Amino acid sequence: MRCRRFWCVRVPKERGESVRGALVEMGVFQRDAAVQRGGDYLYFPITGEINVGELAEDGFSDVKLLQRDFEYTERQTFENILGFTPSYEMIGDIAVIDSEDPDAKEIADAILLMHKNITTVLGMLGPVQGEFRIRDFCVLAGEPKTHTVHKEYGCRYEIDLARVYFTPRLGTERKRIADQIRSSDLVVDMFAGVGPFAIPIAKSAKRVVAIDKNPVAIKYLERNAPLNKVGNMEIICCDVRGVAHGLWHIADHVIMNLPHSADEFLDCAMDIVKPGGIIHYYDIREEDDLFLGAHETIKHAANTCGMTARVLDERIVRSYSPHQSNVVLDVQICPIAR
Ligand SMILES: C[S@@+](CC[C@H](N)C(=O)[O-])C[C@H]1O[C@@H](n2cnc3c(N)ncnc32)[C@H](O)[C@@H]1O
């Protein structure tokens, strides 16, 4: 506890509750300092000088503004530890930051101080790479590990960040897709990873087929399905190209979360989607052509199979780089009317 001089409002005890409520509503109540009592008065510390007239107009004509010393607890903030607020992601009990930040070590220590639930801070060593879309990490602070359990919208995912792809930044998008699924739907997730699309979808769908080429991602998906009480999922470890033809026109929804190269797999998606079904197509696009180019690519792929592509929705999911965005197009694939 420390002592500091604050502006405060002196108020007769019997009016304490209503004045306190008014100060909270005005956003000026100083929560870090202890309210004082003296004689028939209460002293409410506030964040700065205010116009008592505002309170008086509300009927508090007997309140007085003055300065007084209060005991207060200094709250830890990034601002007072580091002098700035860093950017970081939290995945389960691991925080992830950019290892190239010159203040990386200080930021990592500050994160451990600020978040009691974080046990490890990892530094990203470069971008996600390769077919499996994984990246290397270094341990900057805390326990040396890359394995965690992440919670999202009531589901839990076991993940090894160094061996599988995962981002918490698509949580809202995954919920948006899961909310579209009906109990009669069959859904194919072509690039399922550890299951953050497939698992919540399986809770609403009749059946889900989840495919991934990374055997480690599949190992985690096989654990994550029962962890979330999902029993209606077929899990396939292989290149989607090898199984697409065997899933001929079975899917009401196809999830294509392989930004950068989903276009190379549109022929597989056309094999899998039912006439009238929907493809959820993810892409990384430049700011000067967010959707049109992707729409043209899907339209071309559909036309090649004697189908049409109707865009039902197009959205920016998240920013990817200063001039690029991760976008999604929900596209219905229908036979061409003759
Ligand atoms: C961007 S990650 C998305 C994972 C998951 N959908 C998610 O949101 O966390 C793409 C995934 O596709 C898998 N993948 C890449 N090429 C593939 C292919 N040809 N066939 C099947 N899976 C593939 C990778 O292993 C990776 O797990």
* DSSP conformation letters of 232-263: SEEEEES-HHHHGGGGTT-EEEEEE--TTTGG
Nearest CA to ligand 1 atom 6: 192
- CB contact at 8 A, 252 and 201: no
- CB contact at 8 A, 297 and 327: no
At 56 the pLDDT is 62
Nearest CA to ligand 1 atom 26: 132
In short, whether 213's Cβ falls inside 6 Å of ligand 1 is: yes
Tell me the CA–centroid distance for residue 3 and ligand 1, in Å: 56
At 2 the pLDDT is 85
Domains and CATH numbers, the chain: 2-72 (3.30.70.2580), 78-145 (3.30.300.110), 169-335 (3.40.50.150)
Nearest CA to ligand 1 atom 19: 239
In short, whether 152's Cβ falls inside 6 Å of ligand 1 is: no
At 52 the pLDDT is 74
Nearest CA to ligand 1 atom 8: 196
Nearest CA to ligand 1 atom 18: 239
DSSP 287: T
Compute the distance between CA of residue 327 and CA of residue 338 in angstroms, rounded to an integer. 32
In short, whether 235's Cβ falls inside 6 Å of ligand 1 is: no
Q: Is 266 helix (H, G, I), strand (E, B) or coil?
A: helix
- CB contact at 8 A, 197 and 224: no
HEC assignment per residue over 183-196: CCCEEEECCCCCCC
Which residue among 134, 155, 165, 272 has the greatest number of ligand 1 atoms within 8 angstroms of its CB, and so is best to mutate?
165
At 107 the pLDDT is 98
**pTM for the model:** 0.82
At 75 the pLDDT is 79
* DSSP conformation letters of 75-134: ---HHHHHSSPPP-EEETTEEEEETTSTTHHHHHHHHHHH-TT--EEEEEEEEEETTTTE
Which residue among 213, 265, 317 has the greatest number of ligand 1 atoms within 8 angstroms of its CB, and so is best to mutate?
213
- CB contact at 8 A, 223 and 164: no
At 330 the pLDDT is 98
At 201 the pLDDT is 98
The tens place of each residue's pLDDT in the chain, 338 residues long, gives 789 999 999 999 998 998 898 898 888 999 889 999 999 999 999 988 887 777 666 666 788 899 999 999 877 899 989 999 999 999 999 999 999 999 999 999 999 999 999 999 999 999 999 999 999 999 999 999 999 999 999 999 999 999 999 999 999 999 999 999 999 999 999 999 999 999 999 999 999 999 999 999 999 999 999 999 999 999 999 999 999 999 999 999 999 999 999 999 999 999 999 999 999 999 999 999 999 999 999 999 999 999 999 999 999 999 999 999 999 999 999 998 76
In short, whether 133's Cβ falls inside 6 Å of ligand 1 is: yes
Compute the distance between CA of residue 177 and CA of residue 330 in angstroms, rounded to an integer. 9
